[in-house]
Amino acid sequence: MIQALHFKDEKSDKFWFIETLDCELMVNYGKTGTTGKYEIKEFDTVEECEKEALKLINSKKKKGYQEFPEFDRDNHYYFDDEECGLHILTSHINFRKYFTDEFYYDCGDEEAPFGSDEGNDALYELQEAIQKKKKINFFDFPKVIIEKIWEMDYLSPDVEKTDEELKEEAKTKYNGLLGDQVILQSDQVVLAVTFGQAKITGKIDSDLLELALKSLTRIDRLNRLIWNWDKEEATYYIETMRKDLIKFKEDSQKRLLQN
């Protein structure tokens, strides 16, 4: 169930939006033209969830709310309910369309975009900046987070480096941290900002997307050259993210050509 409603009188102008998915219900409400507040509720059954959604809709209509066909989901921002965390119902519809694997909503899996401490913190910094309406250069934002906010070292992914050069960089110390950890943190933040932009806005800066693809390549190389990971599990995450980003990029380019 999806329904957008609108209320306007001499004193207020506000929207109210509801969407259900299986046994969960999301409500987004606030002043028209703003992002508003998000809340998630969970029920024991689909029937209970749909019944509650209908009850809420009817309640709003009795208070004077009317249907709101102008509500623009494509240009709306999506922020997670703090109590619920990462959730499909508080993600932009384009994010849901292209990034379907469950790990995109995993806040505890180190290989997921938002699963590491660095990835989760980077998503928080991005959300804070967008909510405060700061002017953001998404391509530069990973560097801003690491160097200006966290006051640490940032190493941008460079696919031109040879294996020997990458191994040497991984052994170099940066303010007490080994290079492989600095590289990993840089790539985790790049990926979190990339997928975070898509999750919140439904778009990805084209240069940032290319940077994310380079970060995936560098992580893959580090897995092989430095950490001797079990390749099968690590490759699944990397290849899934790469495939999904490329599909997002190709479809975005098609839309630009059509327009």
Q: CA separation (Å) from 65 to 7, 48, 49, 68, 254?
A: 5, 23, 21, 9, 38
State the pairing for strand pair 66-67/173-174: unpaired
Supply the pLDDT for residue 230.
61
256 vs 189, residue with greater confidence: 189
Q: Which of 215, 224, 226 is CA-nearest to residue 185? A: 215
Mapped onto helix, strand or coil, the DSSP state of residue 17 is strand
pLDDT digits (tens, 9 = 90+) for 66-102: 999 999 999 999 999 988 899 999 999 999 999 999 9
Confidence of residue 132 (pLDDT cuts 50, 70, 90): confident
Residue whose C-alpha is closest to residue 120's, from 176, 199, 193: 193
pLDDT tens-place string over residues 15-70: 999 999 999 999 999 999 999 999 999 999 999 999 999 999 999 999 999 999 99
Residue entry with tokens 């806005």: 201
Task: Give the 3-state secondary structure of residue 149.
Answer: helix
**What is the predicted pLDDT for the residue at 101?**
97
**C-alpha distances in Å from residue 49, one per residue of 20, 59, 154, 251:** 7, 15, 46, 34
pLDDT value for 144:
97
First to last CA, the chain: 31
pLDDT tens digits along 184-216: 999 999 999 999 999 999 999 999 999 999 999
Question: Which residue is listed with tokens 């934002």?
Answer: 141
| pTM attached to this predicted model | 0.94
pLDDT bin (cut points 50, 70, 90) of residue 235 is confident
Which comes out higher in pLDDT, residue 36 or 256? 36
Phi-psi region of 151 (alpha: psi -120 to 50; beta: other; left: phi over 0): left
E strand intervals along 72-221? 173-174, 177-178
Beta bridge partners, 19, equal: 2, 26
How many percent of the chain have pLDDT more than 70? 97
Contact 29, 18 (CB under 8 A): no
Q: Any residues with CB less than 8 A from the CB of 47 and at least 6 apart, and which?
A: none
202 within 8 A of 74, measured Cβ to Cβ: yes
Instruction: Give 215's strand partners.
Output: none
Q: Is pLDDT above 90 for 243?
A: yes
Half-sphere exposure of 249 (CA within 13 A, CB side): 17
Tokens at 40, concatenated: 């998630």
Contact 156, 143 (CB under 8 A): yes
Whether the per-residue pLDDT at 233 is higher than 60: the answer is no
pLDDT > 90 in the chain, percent: 85
